């Protein structure tokens, strides 16, 4: 249910209509409701949805919002997982969907300049025509926008080799709360003039400025891929293999499933594979690694050789190499089926996106298994073993008060354990609303105070996505 | 000559001695003079040199400096090129040479934790024992410190494949101007909780905080290297090749020398190579590319194949592959000989470290050649063709007033041209004092004002390396 939203001031409404045109301001309840939620499932209607088409319009909107002291919530595609794009205090939903142009692909310098509303997968396809590759690959890349990726610091499986969104942002055109337009960074790989405002804005979740244009670094497209699956005796063995593999080579992706996750999708693996693993390992496999090698043909051949040389000395592992892209796709489909299959266990899910140093994954998962045993709730983990980014899934029936309470306790215990292991509470989803309470546990007091001061410096009127990231009502 | 430095207040001196011990505070004129300069050749004595051994001592020193309103200049090895570590206003030189411990090498997670005074090459050697590699390679890496590299955002030739220092900094322990100690970032590859204070401090040249501990990302060490040299008809052809090569493969380094630079070191190339190039190209080569491929053996073989397949269709290029590491070293020695050999042309040099999109290198170099013809000053350029980072060298006799004046005019014209080509005035050296005047030309007014506000937020008393980065007397 959406909370109460005060109606927009009629003078502000008229002024907004003058800026973007009457048809680009939506105030009907059903239109506002369409922009009330994001991937977190939380929901609160804005007072109006405004669709700017350039930075000058964004600047004018922010100046008006400052004048009328109304919140502005920038929004890409609303695929964020933490409520960062929910209008918790009403105000103006700044929908950037009309700013969806790829302004330039400079193949010689391997740079793209895009507007924030470009769909991530569309950019990936467009640069591929130039033999280039934009590696960041959030799971929602078919729908999510580059602007949202930049605002949240989105990641994805390719991070282990290629890094995350922030590693590809060379420069930004951004609109400050007072309507000033700044250009940060450069369009070259190097550049050290002044402070790194680019990276300060990346991951700031719309709380410091509105991102209006993005200059991205591209890389040459790999020509060859090889997917391999490893079934392991247990997770301890699997994560040991991860560290050992990464000392020898750098796969493009290196994912794992724990015992529960593997069992959820075992029937989607190639026929007979689990049985073959049982006979070879001497027990039913309790963890799976899925990795993809990429590069030129010789490079992939070399990585495959290194991997096989190493694995042949490892007892209790079944190695399965996809014969072709079709088989590779089947393996990846099994990996993607984990999340939907989880609802076989319980009707609801609480999901967290923590990171621990990858050698500590077994400790974290052991803690999760213990919590599952203690509470009776099914808990499974899977994710990016190569970079320690784990998706912890607590399955529950929200209508059962005992389960609902226990699940929150499990979540808190997992977060605490994550920090004790030297980890962080969000690897790629961001803070938004749903992790705002946790931020104080992770950051030291002086650092948190400094961040709040930065927020006040950039946005003294607290109009830019207020109530996000920081736990307090007002920064 | 060093300017006037007011003596240190005796009560402050006594307080500093209580913090670090009497023998760790130097005030004798000759000791202060040893810490008066950096690689820029500029010089100004501090009032005292203080050698802390931990962050708590740094914090106490900063609190005292705030109380007595005395500047504090953090200093690594003093190899910076822009005067960033020169005590232009006297004050306390904070020499971090005693904080030189590698605190941890975590091979499983490919992370190192170091104090700021660790010599870059020492870290590289230490991690190599674990089969790991710390790629950033500033030319001074045998002497410079990681802390200085982080403070200046140092680069190096390996940037084209591996990125620069900032791409390896996962987290920091830093001391704020008020003595608060903050921990930024994480020790994992991913992490998006709160604003990116890590990257805000990287490259801030000691003006926002003192960096007391650094968590660095490492990568697996490549096992194979292949060095190749290309002699080209002209620079236009050479930079065209650079863009084409980088669409096919990513060498670890991709350096170029222009005509003048090539002629300076032609006699150091393998015997007969220039003559062979003359007969094959049909003219004396006027540009050189030097590139190194690295990876596992198959990867390097694959890259070599891709490169040769491409180059065999390119007329007018002589390709020379180093037969072994010894020959490769000879080629790199020729490249390194450019800077010292330049003094054959004139006794003095003005050097700038600009970046342009790499496809624009010929335009920049054509402008430099025209300026050389107009002024009669020898000008040559060389540098990192792969990332467009060019070292422009204007040779002159400073004792000749006409040459001294002309050289400053050339420098200004090159900077102007760099910005017109979409470039930046510093790729890896930083701003310091010597580029502070230029920063206003590169940054827009709103961005520059924001940076100054950040400086005031972090350091309201303006004690941290005052007078650096920003052109005004006082921020």
> In chain B, which residue's Cα lies nearest the Cα of A360?
B109
Best B149, B175, B188, B192 residue to mutate vs chain A (most A CBs within 10 Å): B192
Interval A349-398: pLDDT, tens: 998 899 999 999 999 999 999 999 999 999 999 999 999 999 999 999 99
Q: What is the dihedral of CA A402, A406, A407, A409, to 10 degrees?
A: 150
Q: What is the Cα–Cα distance from B433 to B87, expressed in whole angstroms?
A: 11
Q: Does the CB of B472 have a partner CB in chain A at under 8 Å?
A: no
Q: What is the Cα–Cα distance from B462 to B458, expressed in whole angstroms?
A: 9
- The pLDDT assigned to A472 comes to 67
For the stretch A243-279, what's the b/e string if a residue is b when 16 or more beta carbons lie within 10 angstroms of its beta carbon?
Answer: bebbbebbbbbbbbbbbbbbbbbbeebeeebbeebee
Among the partner-chain residues B159, B359, B448, the one whose CB lies closest to the CB of A109 is B359
Residue B392 belongs to what H/E stretch? strand B389-396
Total residues belonging to chain A: 475
A-chain residues near B132 (CB < 8 A): 247
Angle at CA of residue B145, ends B138 and B114, nearest 5°: 120
- Measure in Å the smallest separation between the Cα of A266 and chain B Cα atoms: 29
Among the partner-chain residues B190, B193, B202, the one whose CB lies closest to the CB of A155 is B190
Q: What is the Cα–Cα distance from B385 to B358, expressed in whole angstroms?
A: 6
Q: Which contacts of B406-409 are long-range, i.e. CB under 8 A and separated by 24 or more positions?
A: B406/B375, B406/B376, B406/B377, B407/B350, B407/B375, B407/B377, B408/B350, B409/B375
| Residue A287 near residue A232, CB atoms below 8 Å | yes
Residue whose tokens read 């590696």: A135
Tell me which DSSP letter residue B462 carries.
-
> In chain A, which residue's Cα lies nearest the Cα of B220?
A247
Q: Compute how many other C-beta atoms are within 10 angstroms of the C-beta atom of residue B134.
A: 26
| CB pairs < 8 Å spanning A and B | 285
**Beta bridge mates, A383:** A256, A390
Q: What is the Cα–Cα distance from B95 to A391, expressed in whole angstroms?
A: 44
Q: What is the Cα–Cα distance from B340 to B141, expressed in whole angstroms?
A: 17
CA atoms within 13 Å, Cβ hemisphere of A459: 27
Decide: helix, strand or coil at residue B395: strand
- Measure in Å the smallest separation between the Cα of B386 and chain A Cα atoms: 9
Q: Does the CB of B435 have a partner CB in chain A at under 8 Å?
A: yes
Among the partner-chain residues B155, B446, B451, the one whose CB lies closest to the CB of A180 is B446
| Residue B410 near residue B352, CB atoms below 8 Å | no
Q: What is the Cα–Cα distance from A444 to A426, expressed in whole angstroms?
A: 16
What was the ipTM of the complex prediction?
A: 0.95
Listing DSSP states for B396-416 in one string gives E-TTSHHHHHHHHHHHHHHHH
Instruction: Answer yes or no: do A184 and B111 touch at CB < 8 A.
Output: no
- The pLDDT assigned to A239 comes to 87
Q: Does the CB of A419 have a partner CB in chain B at under 8 Å?
A: no
Which residues contact residue B306 at a Cβ distance below 8 angstroms, ignoring those fewer than 6 apart?
A296, B248, B249
Q: What is the CA radius of gyration of chain B?
A: 23
- Measure in Å the smallest separation between the Cα of B435 and chain A Cα atoms: 9
- Give residues 28 to 47 of B whose Cβ lies within 8 Å of A: none
Nearest to A299 by CA among B289, B160, B161: B161
Q: What is the Cα–Cα distance from A77 to B236, expressed in whole angstroms?
A: 44
B-chain residues near A454 (CB < 8 A): 195, 454, 457
Best A137, A191, A357 residue to mutate vs chain B (most B CBs within 10 Å): A191
Q: Does the CB of A7 have a partner CB in chain B at under 8 Å?
A: no
Pairing of strands B92-95, B48-50: parallel
Separation in Å, CA A421 to CA A301, A417, B269: 36, 6, 54
Angle at CA of residue A140, ends A138 and A146, nearest 5°: 65
| Residue A293 near residue A304, CB atoms below 8 Å | yes
Q: A473 is written with which tokens?
A: 């009502």
Q: What is the Cα–Cα distance from A270 to B165, expressed in whole angstroms?
A: 44
Q: Does the CB of A359 have a partner CB in chain B at under 8 Å?
A: yes
Best B178, B195, B356 residue to mutate vs chain A (most A CBs within 10 Å): B195
pLDDT tens, N- to C-terminus, chain A (475 residues): 456 788 999 999 999 999 999 999 999 999 999 999 999 989 999 999 999 999 999 999 999 999 999 999 999 999 999 999 999 999 999 999 999 999 999 999 999 999 999 999 999 999 999 999 999 999 999 999 999 999 999 999 999 999 999 999 999 999 999 999 999 999 888 898 999 999 999 999 999 999 999 999 999 999 999 999 999 999 889 989 998 999 899 999 999 999 999 999 999 999 999 999 999 999 999 999 999 999 999 999 999 999 999 999 898 999 999 999 999 999 999 998 998 999 999 999 998 899 999 999 999 999 999 999 999 999 999 999 999 999 999 999 999 999 999 999 999 999 999 999 999 999 989 999 988 888 889 999 999 999 999 999 999 999 999 999 997 655 5
Listing DSSP states for A74-102 in one string gives EESSS--SSSTT--TT--EEEE-TT---E
Nearest to A109 by CA among B105, B472, B355: B355
Q: Does the CB of B170 have a partner CB in chain A at under 8 Å?
A: no
pLDDT tens, N- to C-terminus, chain B (475 residues): 456 788 999 999 999 999 999 999 999 999 999 999 999 989 999 999 999 999 999 999 999 999 999 999 999 999 999 999 999 999 999 999 999 999 999 999 999 999 999 999 999 999 999 999 999 999 999 999 999 999 999 999 999 999 999 999 999 999 999 999 999 999 888 898 999 999 999 999 999 999 999 999 999 999 999 999 999 999 889 989 998 999 899 999 999 999 999 999 999 999 999 999 999 999 999 999 999 999 999 999 999 999 999 999 898 999 999 999 999 999 999 998 998 999 999 999 998 999 999 999 999 999 999 999 999 999 999 999 999 999 999 999 999 999 999 999 999 999 999 999 999 999 989 999 988 888 889 999 999 999 999 999 999 999 999 999 997 655 5
Q: What is the Cα–Cα distance from B126 to B105, expressed in whole angstroms?
A: 8
Among the partner-chain residues B182, B187, B204, the one whose CB lies closest to the CB of A447 is B182
| Cα-to-chain-centroid distance, residue B210 | 19
- Measure in Å the smallest separation between the Cα of B253 and chain A Cα atoms: 13
Residue B6: Cβ-neighbour burial (10 angstroms; 0-12, 13-18, 19+): exposed
Instruction: Answer yes or no: do A190 and B155 touch at CB < 8 A.
Output: yes
Instruction: Answer yes or no: do A192 and B152 touch at CB < 8 A.
Output: yes
Best A104, A170, A194 residue to mutate vs chain B (most B CBs within 10 Å): A194
Q: Structural domains in chain A?
A: 102-220 (3.30.465.10), 224-339 (3.30.70.2190), 345-420 (3.30.70.2740)
| Residue B39 near residue B81, CB atoms below 8 Å | yes
Interval A178-210: pLDDT, tens: 999 999 999 888 898 999 999 999 999 999 999
- The pLDDT assigned to A326 comes to 94
Quote the mean pLDDT of chain A.
Answer: 94
The phi and psi torsions of B37 (rounded to 5 degrees) equal: -130, 170
């Amino acid at each position: 249910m959406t909370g109460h939203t005060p109606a927009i001031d009629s003078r502000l409404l008229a002024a907004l209509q003058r800026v973007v045109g009457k048809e680009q301001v939506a105030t009907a309840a059903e239109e506002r409701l369409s922009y009330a939620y994001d991937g977190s499932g939380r929901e609160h209607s804005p007072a109006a949805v405004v669709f700017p088409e350039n930075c000058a319009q964004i600047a004018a909107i922010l100046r008006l919002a400052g004048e009328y002291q109304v919140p502005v919530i920038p929004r890409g595609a609303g695929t964020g997982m933490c409520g960062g794009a929910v209008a918790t205090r009403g105000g103006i939903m700044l929908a950037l969907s009309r700013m969806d142009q790829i302004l330039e692909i400079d193949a010689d310098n391997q740079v793209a300049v895009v507007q924030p509303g470009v769909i991530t997968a569309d950019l990936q396809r467009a640069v591929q025509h130039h033999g280039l590759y934009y590696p960041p690959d959030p799971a929602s890349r078919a729908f999510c926008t580059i602007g949202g990726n930049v605002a949240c610091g989105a990641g994805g499986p390719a991070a282990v080799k290629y890094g995350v969104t922030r590693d590809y942002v060379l420069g930004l055109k951004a609109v400050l709360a007072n309507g000033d337009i700044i250009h940060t960074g450069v369009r070259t790989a190097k550049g050290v003039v002044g402070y790194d405002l680019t990276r300060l804005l990346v991951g700031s979740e719309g709380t410091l400025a509105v991102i209006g244009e993005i200059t991205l670094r591209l890389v040459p497209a790999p020509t060859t891929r090889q997917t391999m699956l490893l079934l392991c005796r247990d997770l301890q063995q699997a994560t040991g293999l991860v560290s050992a593999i990464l000392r020898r080579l750098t796969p493009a992706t290196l994912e794992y499933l724990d015992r529960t996750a593997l069992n959820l999708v075992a029937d989607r693996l190639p026929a007979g594979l689990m049985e073959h693993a049982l006979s070879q390992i001497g027990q039913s496999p309790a963890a799976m690694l899925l990795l993809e090698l990429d590069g030129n043909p010789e490079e992939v051949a070399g990585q495959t050789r290194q991997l096989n040389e190493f694995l042949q000395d490892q007892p209790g592992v079944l190695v399965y190499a996809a014969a072709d892209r079709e088989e590779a796709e089947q393996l990846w489909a099994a990996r993607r089926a984990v999340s939907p299959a989880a609802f076989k266990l319980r009707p609801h899910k609480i999901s967290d996106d923590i990171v621990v140093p990858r050698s500590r994954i077994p400790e974290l998962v052991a803690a999760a298994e213990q919590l599952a045993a203690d509470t009776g709730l099914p808990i499974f983990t899977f994710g990016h073993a190569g970079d320690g980014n784990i998706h912890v899934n607590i399955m529950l029936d929200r209508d059962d008060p005992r389960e609902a309470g226990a699940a929150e306790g499990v979540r808190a215990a997992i977060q605490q354990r994550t920090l004790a292991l030297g980890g962080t509470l969000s690897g790629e989803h961001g803070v938004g609303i749903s992790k705002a309470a946790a931020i104080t546990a992770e950051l030291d007091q002086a650092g948190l105070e400094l961040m709040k001061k930065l927020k006040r410096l950039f946005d003294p009127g607290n109009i830019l996505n207020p109530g996000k990231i920081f736990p307090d009502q007002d920064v």
